[in-house]
Amino acid sequence: MAISNTTKRTIPPTHPGEMIREDFMPDYGLTTTLLADALGVSRQTINELLRERRSITSIMALRLSRLFGNSPEFWLNAQYAKDLWESERRFQKELKNIHPLNAA
């Protein structure tokens, strides 16, 4: 049985940085420094990600998936959902002016 997914979200999707901060770091006993060291990136990079001021890039998705044992698509899809939701909100007025085409 398929689940309908046509209802618009009213709350924003979770930022990947929040997922890492709230779900992954406590479970693995990680600090910002330990996470940065494990991923081979700077503390500033991790700090910006955790504060939701930095997006997940493809290389960061690969690093995170390797570290936590999930897929890079998991991280990229989370970022994609957040970006798409924010863009739709930001450009809502402009998007309303675009009308669908009908095939001939």
**What is the per-residue pLDDT across 27-83, written as a single tens digit (0 to 9) for each?**
999 999 999 999 999 999 999 999 999 999 999 999 999 999 999 999 999 999 999
Q: What is the CATH number of domain 16-96?
A: 1.10.260.40
Report the C-alpha gap between 104 and 1 in whole angstroms. 34
Domain residue extents for the chain:
16-96
pTM of the model: 0.86
How remote is the C-alpha of 18 from its chain's centroid? 9
